């Protein structure tokens, strides 16, 4: 654990402890605690100011990174290859072999990006990031609108709704700096939130919500949790018409296309999107990490929720309370399961942090109605949460050395391609034709427990004139043994900077680029 992460956790826990102590004392009948009006106004202004500040900071970072010509995150280049497959009408879910094969994702995000690329002659990365940026703005708007509706029975609805949206945008870095990446997560989150927001608006809203959930499912499989949560909430409320509509539309909308896609791809759609993720299983250590590391960072808001949920719950309408609880449970559970899943990066924390923020702001708004003297404590805990997730904006922006590193790698690949086909294991988007990326290969290896036949044949035939890896693979794993049998590392290059600026920063001096040649 780095010093920075430890410092954040210590601050979050300390602030939560102090806030809990003050709130508990303030709720005692004999309490004589009081706060001046100027202090309350100052705390409220500070929270609103930080909401606006982090919203502007995120948008500025997103604009600065929009036209960056290389992948911002190390799987981004391979995601661009996914888009290119749709753009050129090439088969998508194909057997794993020596060429290209996909990640464990449904097809909606790359399909949407490919459609937009046909309409707008822009670089693929610009379109892909543009979809994420627009989706993120949509998420912030929906969070504010839903929180405002949830707090309709309180007087400070707009204030707490703005804080909920601000907390979401402020969590940009602690969720991996993912809001503007060439990845599918933000489109999935927008569609899920659209479904949640529309669900409680009569039968028309239920239809809109059902369609949104179906689209979210074909963006990321985790949408199943929100569909289940919506169904349970409607069942608990005895809203039978909406429940039947939801189950009918989402059932048919998910199952029929799934069967058609699976048939059209000879079963490979099911293999990549369901068999591969399930093969990774749940790891106890990672599940515990979520509890004592990831949730601990949001200790101020979690303490707020625990201290006031009874008071707020008594005042909230049953339908709003039920929907908020069901969706928050689904969001936190989704983050927990994904974090416990091998390969679950910080981006999977988005749903947990998002719903914790919405629940905290909603409960705070109702609590102030009955216990206005608790407002300073509620604002202090919210302010402490903003401090706990603060970050250095400049660390997320690519610099000249990052661009130079990407250009150097691209020149090396293009030089090697003059001698034949080149396989870049760690990065997509650099070779012609494109190939699988190492994470996709590891997922397949973990599922099949062997090297795919097509790849084994390609290595034995020495199909590639050169293979680029970052670091040396293990000599005892299945792929490593085969690679060492038919290729040998002949050259290594060291990079002082990486063109990747988000997530796993690679290559690095500790992970030099090795060039392998046939034996």
Bridge partner residues of 423 (DSSP): 467
Report the Cα–Cα distance between both ends of the chain, in Å, rounded.
41
Which of helix, strand or coil describes residue 462? coil
Segment among 29-38, 370-379, 446-455 with least mean pLDDT? 29-38
Mark whether 454 and 505 lie in a shared domain.
Answer: yes
Are 195 and 216 contacting, i.e. CB atoms less than 8 angstroms apart?
yes
Residues 324-336 as b/e (b if ≥16 CB within 10 A, e otherwise) read bbbbbbbbbbbbb
Domain boundary residue among 350, 376, 395?
A: 395
| 422/428 Cα distance (integer angstroms) | 12
State which residues form the domain around 443.
400-518
Mark whether 293 and 187 lie in a shared domain.
Answer: yes
326 within some domain = yes
Mark whether 390 and 454 lie in a shared domain.
Answer: no
Residue (of 306, 351, 358) closest to 332 by Cα position: 351
Residue (of 378, 390, 392) closest to 300 by Cα position: 378
Mark whether 297 and 379 lie in a shared domain.
Answer: yes
With residues binned 3-state (H G I as helix, E B as strand, rest as coil), the percentages for the chain, rounded to 5, are 65, 5, 30
484 within some domain = yes
Mark whether 346 and 447 lie in a shared domain.
Answer: no
108 within some domain = no
| 20/322 Cα distance (integer angstroms) | 26
Mark whether 378 and 432 lie in a shared domain.
Answer: no
Q: Judge whether residue 344 has pLDDT over 80.
A: no
Residue 174, both tokens: 């602690």
Q: Judge whether residue 270 has pLDDT over 90.
A: yes
| 466/513 Cα distance (integer angstroms) | 12
**How many residues comprise the chain?**
519
- Which residues, 6+ apart, have CB-to-CB distance to 445 below 8 Å? 451, 477, 478, 479
| 252/142 Cα distance (integer angstroms) | 26
Residue 508, both tokens: 């690095």
112 within some domain = no
CA-CA-CA-CA torsion sign (388, 390, 395, 397): positive
445 within some domain = yes
Cα-to-chain-centroid distance, residue 126 = 19
| 264/269 Cα distance (integer angstroms) | 9
Domain boundary residue among 395, 416, 431?
A: 395
- 348-404 pLDDT per residue, tens: 999 999 999 999 999 999 998 888 888 888 999 999 999 999 999 999 999 999 999
Residue 269, both tokens: 């759609």
Mark whether 359 and 252 lie in a shared domain.
Answer: yes
113 within some domain = no
Residue (of 33, 51, 57) closest to 361 by Cα position: 51
DSSP state of 73: B
Q: pLDDT band at residue 132, thresholds of 50, 70 and 90?
A: very high
The pTM score is: 0.95
| 208/118 Cα distance (integer angstroms) | 27
Mark whether 283 and 144 lie in a shared domain.
Answer: yes
Q: Judge whether residue 23 has pLDDT over 60.
A: yes
Mark whether 371 and 439 lie in a shared domain.
Answer: no
Domain boundary residue among 395, 411, 441?
A: 395
93 within some domain = no
65 within some domain = yes
- 82-95 pLDDT per residue, tens: 999 999 999 999 99
DSSP state of 273: I
Mark whether 362 and 412 lie in a shared domain.
Answer: no
**Number of folded domains in the chain?**
2
Mark whether 65 and 50 lie in a shared domain.
Answer: yes
Mark whether 191 and 227 lie in a shared domain.
Answer: yes
């Amino acid at each position: 654990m780095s010093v920075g992460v430890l410092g954040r956790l210590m601050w979050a826990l300390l602030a939560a402890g102090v806030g809990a102590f003050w709130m508990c004392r303030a709720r005692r009948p004999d309490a004589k605690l009081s706060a001046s009006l100027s202090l309350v106004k100052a705390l409220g202004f500070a929270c609103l100011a930080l909401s606006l500040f982090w919203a502007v900071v995120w948008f500025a970072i997103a604009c600065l990174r929009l036209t960056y010509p290389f992948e911002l995150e190390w799987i981004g280049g391979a995601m661009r290859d996914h888009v290119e497959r749709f753009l050129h009408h090439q088969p998508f879910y194909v057997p794993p072999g020596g060429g290209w094969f996909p990640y464990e994702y449904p097809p909606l995000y790359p399909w949407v990006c490919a459609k937009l690329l046909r309409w707008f002659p822009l670089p693929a990365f610009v379109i892909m990031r543009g979809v994420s940026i627009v989706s993120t703005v949509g998420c912030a708007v929906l969070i504010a609108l839903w929180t405002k509706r949830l707090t309709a029975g309180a007087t400070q609805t707009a204030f707490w709704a703005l804080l909920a949206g601000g907390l979401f945008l402020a969590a940009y870095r602690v969720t991996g700096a993912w809001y503007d990446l060439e990845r599918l997560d933000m489109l999935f989150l927008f569609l899920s939130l659209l479904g949640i927001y529309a669900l409680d608006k009569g039968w028309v809203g239920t239809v809109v919500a059902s369609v949104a959930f179906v689209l979210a499912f074909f963006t990321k499989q985790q949408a199943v949790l929100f569909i289940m949560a919506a169904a349970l909430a409607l069942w608990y409320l005895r809203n039978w018409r909406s429940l039947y509509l939801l189950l009918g539309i989402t059932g048919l909308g998910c199952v029929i296309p799934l069967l058609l896609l699976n048939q059209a791809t000879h079963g490979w759609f099911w293999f990549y999107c369901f068999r591969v993720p399930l093969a990774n299983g749940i790891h106890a250590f990672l599940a515990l990490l979520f509890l004592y590391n990831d949730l601990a960072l949001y200790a101020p808001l979690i303490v707020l929720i625990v201290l006031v949920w009874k008071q707020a719950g008594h005042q909230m309408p049953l339908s709003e309370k039920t929907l908020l609880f069901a969706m928050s449970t689904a969001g936190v559970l989704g983050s927990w399961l994904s974090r416990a899943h091998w390969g679950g990066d910080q981006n999977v924390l988005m749903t947990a942090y998002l719903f914790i923020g919405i629940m905290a702001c909603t409960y705070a708004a109702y609590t102030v109605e009955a216990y206005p003297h608790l407002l300073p404590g509620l604002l202090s805990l919210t302010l402490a949460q903003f401090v706990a997730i603060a970050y250095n904006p400049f660390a997320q922006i690519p610099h000249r050395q990052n661009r130079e590193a990407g250009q150097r790698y691209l020149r090396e690949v293009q030089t090697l391609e003059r001698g034949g086909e080149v396989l870049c294991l760690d990065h997509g988007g650099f070779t012609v034709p494109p190939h699988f990326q190492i994470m996709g290969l590891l997922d397949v290896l973990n599922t099949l427990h062997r090297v795919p036949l097509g790849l084994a044949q390609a290595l034995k035939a020495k199909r590639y004139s050169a293979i680029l890896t970052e670091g040396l693979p293990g000599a005892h794993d299945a792929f490593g043994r085969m690679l060492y049998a038919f290729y040998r590392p002949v050259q290594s290059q060291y990079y002082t900077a990486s063109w990747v600026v988000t997530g796993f920063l690679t290559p690095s001096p500790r992970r030099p680029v090795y060039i392998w040649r046939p034996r």
